Amino acid sequence: MTRLLVVGWDGATWSVADPLARAGRLPMLASLREEDAAEGVLETVPNMNSAPAWSTVATGLNPGRHGIFYFDEPVPGTYRRRVINATRRSGASLWRMASDAGKRTVVVNVPISFPAEPVNGYLIAGLDSPSKTISGFTYPQGLTARHPGLFDRYTVDPGAPSLIKAGKVQEAKDELLQITDGWTSVTERLMEEEWDLVFVVFTATDTAQHFFWTGEGRQVVEQVYQSQDEGTARLVEKARTQDPDVNVIVLADHGGAVNTRGPELMPVWLEDQGLQAFTAPSVPSRALSTGFRVVDRTLTREQKLALARRFPRLRERAESEVRLAGLHWKRTRAYSDGLRDEVFVNLAGREPEGSVPNGEYQGLVEELKEGIEGIREMDTGEPVVESVRHRDELYHGPHVDLAPDLTLRWLLEGREAPFRGFECETRRGREKMRALVAQPPFTDGGHHGDGMFLAAGPNIRPGYVRGRLEDVTPTVLALLGIPAPAGLDGRPLDLLKDVEAKEAKEAKAAQAAERTPAGLRESPAEVPAARADRDPATGYTAEEEEEVRRRLEELGYL
């Protein structure tokens, strides 16, 4: 059985890659395409977010079953959210399944893979790892004893967003262009030993697209694609030297598009409709928010970490107070946080200050769907919403309750500029919309539902492929000659040649595991020691959570 190299390009999209490849600027992608590749798109998860998307790639399960919907999750019975990691994922990963089948694996930088789970080979955790020195960053631990200097030029914390925030745009560009080299070099070194499956994710594409999608910035995006093409070429060449028959997959977890600013506009629209009500912030809440903003501006990172250590929940509380600041809960029936493509119902009995009785839930959901579908852009009168779906329509499994009530998709076809605002019924609403769109957006790129997919090798049949992220796990298992566990949500992509996809009779590995920190339980020796100051749900200390939260916020993920 031949080997398999999988290179993830986070957020990569054919609308960028195709013209570049044709112009000779992505020679590796172009040469894979010329080798009779299977080429097309993989449809991402409903909310197009990288955390559930890569978790679906890794498990072959929909988010309702693996339980990851974002880089954070709601804390039950509160309006707060906590940062999460792989301890919250249910279901076996494909590198776990490959390891169980005796295959040697090298896994590098997959989002939501901390703490590093035991594999038959190596696993280097992704950006949910608080640092590259913490235990749990790698499996096995102590890799640098065996490979001195392995992580010297390796970054878990992309510096580009904070550099951009500080106005150092050139430095941010430089950082984005060299970061892929670190991931590539580590992967190359770990490939020196025997391996059957290499799975590495490059995330610079997504970061670059968020900050440089429009205008002159687009050059940065293109250069980042080129740098990832070079990284991919190094790995493909190394793999082919070791095994000329290696199969290669290049895939994205979602695509890229302009940032429509739709989520930012939703709270104003909901207020205009009388669904989300604001009030003058209460004094304690105002004090907390102001205090938090001052703290955020004036303290160094070290001071903030020290503060997080002393007041573990202060930051979390202040954060949600800022985001949902001044909401009049008793008069709020549905709300949006201004950041995500979603709407929550303020349900009595579930939300701490819920205002919607259970009996009215279904009616309100229908009313919201109809209203949101009918939203039109200010000035143009064009529709803006592609779809709005209830979580029961999008997901299935034991963790559906972690999803927002409604998930929105914006109409992206042909759109290269943000929305000019949403039509409102009240003068106040119109004024707020105008004021909001007059402000510059936080990022100028967003996500698209179709991610780039390309595969080539002796076991790949050329042709056009359209699949879903759920299909990656069974496809990878088939290419490695491992029977897929029964009951996965995906099926092998229609591209297999001279290999047969087999399905095991038992659903054992695919069954949702218990929710308590599976990674922590499986390998007590290899992960951060259980300490009283760790959150039992996530395994993070307050400081570690603060570190990961800061990183995710700067990337625009929280």
Which residues of this protein are in contact with Zn ion, per CB under 5 A?
10-11, 50, 206, 253
- Cβ atoms 42, 471 nearer than 8 A: yes
Q: How far is the CB of 369 from Zn ion (least distance, A)?
A: 27
Q: Which residue is nearest to Zn ion (CB)?
A: 50
Of 17 and 134, the one with the shorter C-beta distance to Zn ion is: 17
Of 74 and 556, the one with the shorter C-beta distance to Zn ion is: 556
Q: How many CA atoms lie within 13 A of 16 on its CB side?
A: 33
- Cβ atoms 334, 361 nearer than 8 A: no
Q: How far is the CB of 45 from Zn ion (least distance, A)?
A: 10
**Mapping DSSP to helix (H, G, I), strand (E, B) and coil, where does residue 109 land?**
strand
> How far apart are alpha carbons 95 and 81 in whole angstroms?
29
Q: How far is the CB of 481 from Zn ion (least distance, A)?
A: 29
Q: How far is the CB of 546 from Zn ion (least distance, A)?
A: 23
Of 50 and 59, the one with the shorter C-beta distance to Zn ion is: 50
Of 220 and 480, the one with the shorter C-beta distance to Zn ion is: 220
Q: How far is the CB of 40 from Zn ion (least distance, A)?
A: 18
| Alpha-carbon distance values, 271 to 430, 450, 500 (Å) | 11, 32, 55
> How far apart are alpha carbons 383 and 377 in whole angstroms?
6
Of 13 and 273, the one with the shorter C-beta distance to Zn ion is: 13
Of 56 and 355, the one with the shorter C-beta distance to Zn ion is: 56
Of 56 and 541, the one with the shorter C-beta distance to Zn ion is: 56
Q: How far is the CB of 54 from Zn ion (least distance, A)?
A: 7
What is the CA 359 to chain-centroid distance, rounded? 34
Closest CA to 208 of 217, 199, 196: 217
Main-chain dihedrals φ then ψ at residue 469, nearest 5 degrees: -60, -30
How does strand 105-110 pair with strand 197-202? Answer: parallel
Of 39 and 206, the one with the shorter C-beta distance to Zn ion is: 206
> How far apart are alpha carbons 436 and 404 in whole angstroms?
24
Residue 295 has a CB neighbour count (10 Å cut-off) of 15
Of 315 and 551, the one with the shorter C-beta distance to Zn ion is: 551
Q: Is the dihedral of CA 36, 37, 38, 41 positive or negative?
A: negative
> How far apart are alpha carbons 91 and 514 in whole angstroms?
9
Block residue for tokens 């941010």: 172
- CB-count burial class (<10 Å; 0-12, 13-18, 19+) for 320: middle
Dig out the tokens for 111 from the structure.
Answer: 């989002």
Q: How far is the CB of 304 from Zn ion (least distance, A)?
A: 26
Residue 31 has a CB neighbour count (10 Å cut-off) of 15
Residue 237 has a CB neighbour count (10 Å cut-off) of 12
- Cβ atoms 153, 167 nearer than 8 A: no
Cα Dmax for the chain: 69
Q: How far is the CB of 201 from Zn ion (least distance, A)?
A: 9
Q: How far is the CB of 507 from Zn ion (least distance, A)?
A: 29
Of 206 and 341, the one with the shorter C-beta distance to Zn ion is: 206
Q: How far is the CB of 254 from Zn ion (least distance, A)?
A: 5
